[in-house]
Amino acid sequence: MTDALDPRELTTYFALMESVGVLEHHVEQQLRAEGGISYVQFQLLARLADAAGPLTMTQLADGVVYSRSGLTYQAGLLEKAGLITRSPFAEDERTTLVTLTGKGAELVGRVLPGHIQVTRRLLFDPLSDDDIERLGDIMTRVRDHVRAQPPRSAAPRKRRGGSGSAAPVG
Amino acid sequence: MTDALDPRELTTYFALMESVGVLEHHVEQQLRAEGGISYVQFQLLARLADAAGPLTMTQLADGVVYSRSGLTYQAGLLEKAGLITRSPFAEDERTTLVTLTGKGAELVGRVLPGHIQVTRRLLFDPLSDDDIERLGDIMTRVRDHVRAQPPRSAAPRKRRGGSGSAAPVG
DNA sequence: TATTGTTATACTCTATAACTATA
DNA sequence: TATAGTTATAGAGTATAACAATA
């Protein structure tokens, strides 16, 4: 449990977070303008498109939305907009299955090219093919690692840690 | 302007965004619990700590907050909490200088070790030293690239693009 | 008892536009 | 005219807790 702050790690971390923050902001604007959806909504739709079949609410949420209620809220919006449908799952009646509609798939297809363009312009432009491959390799490993991490996203923690929490600023 | 979707780029991009999303969420929780601040607030304080001197509001915001009002809001909270002070700048009286207080510096110092720990556990654990160095190199280039990008963050765009915008989901 | 999902509610945060003041 | 910052306000999004229903 070394506390020493490796400056190389710190630099890497801050560059990563700032870059992704700016990228995400630009991507949000593109999605909002061309598709009328937020980035979270895009992630949910894209995940369904990728799955090529229905997902349960929990599967859908994992790594995207971090509270059950937030997920229900987003699913409600997407359903109201006709982009997904929700239906019961006979084999486990607690579960809700989420299916991408044709309209939803169409929206993903319509929005993706511009999305890619923004990503190219901001993220890939200054990188070589080798950089991209290496970055993909690294981040795939990180993603698998964080996915394997104990605290499941949609399952809220119960415990309130022994040392208490600091007084909030807001 | 190629629209073709290079699958390698897409994989890289999605892995990057999901990883950082999860990392940011964990970091938010750590900051909230140990320091009572949000990630945006941490970024602002850390930027001031790094600058080792006052910054203007605009310099402070760049790449962190994307609207002037959002910045004023956050600065208001931080000032109320005694973590920063705002003062006029004699050489340009439109400008507000933001200074980190001792309490603010103390908070950054107090929160940083746990912050690093979370980052290590989620981001750096599955990476080799060489990966980290390469990732740092890549993301530093990307950060410099996005910083150089035309649309300055705190300066809102005026134009409303010719093709109009899509109907919002919400 | 644990898990899946929904609802109600309170709160945080962001963005838009209108405004002030200085360059 | 353009830039720096503030204010008011409205809207989106998130989290907590209480709830119902199934495993």
Cβ–Cβ gap A131/B146 under 8 Å: no
Q: How many CA atoms lie within 13 A of A97 on its CB side?
A: 12
Q: Specify the pLDDT at position B164.
A: 58
Q: Which long-range contacts (CB under 8 A, 24 or more apart) does A47-53 make?
A: A48/A84, A48/A98, A48/A99, A48/A100, A48/A104, A49/A100, A49/A104, A49/A105, A49/A108, A53/A99
Burial of B53 (0-12, 13-18, 19+ CB in 10 A): exposed
pLDDT in tens, B64-86: 999 999 999 999 999 999 999 99
The pTM score is: 0.91
Q: What is the rounded average pLDDT of the residues B96-104?
A: 98
Residue B57: phi and psi, rounded to 5, are -55, -45
CB proximity B30–strand D (7 Å threshold): no
Cβ–Cβ gap A21/B64 under 8 Å: yes
Report which residue type is found at B147: R
Chain C positions within 7 A of any protein Cβ atom are 3-9, 11-18, 21-23
Q: Specify the pLDDT at position A164.
A: 57
**Nucleotide in closest CA–C1' contact with B70:** C14
Please tell me the distance in Å from B55's CA to the nearest CA on chain A: 18
CB proximity A153–strand D (7 Å threshold): no
Distance CA A60, CA A71 (A): 9
Chain A residues 25-84 within 7 Å (CB) of strand C:
25, 56-58, 68-69, 71-73, 75-76
What b/e sequence results for B124-135 when a residue is b if at least 16 CB atoms lie within 10 Å of its CB, and e otherwise? bebbeeebbebb
> Could you tell me how far CA A93 lies from the centroid of its own chain?
27
Task: Quickly count: other Cβ atoms within 10 Å of residue B85's Cβ.
Answer: 15
Q: How many CA atoms lie within 13 A of A153 on its CB side?
A: 24
Distance CA B135, CA A131 (A): 9
Q: What is the rounded average pLDDT of the residues A139-158?
A: 72
pLDDT in tens, A91-130: 999 999 999 999 999 999 999 999 999 999 999 999 999 9
Residue A170, both tokens: 């807001």
A57 CA from C2 C1′ (Å)? 18
Q: Using DSSP bridges, classify how beta strands A84-88 and B55-56 pair: parallel, antiparallel or unpaired.
A: unpaired
Which of B11, B67, B146, B157 is the best residue to mutate to test the A interface, defined by the most A CB atoms within 10 Å of its own CB?
A: B146
Cβ–Cβ gap B146/A116 under 8 Å: no
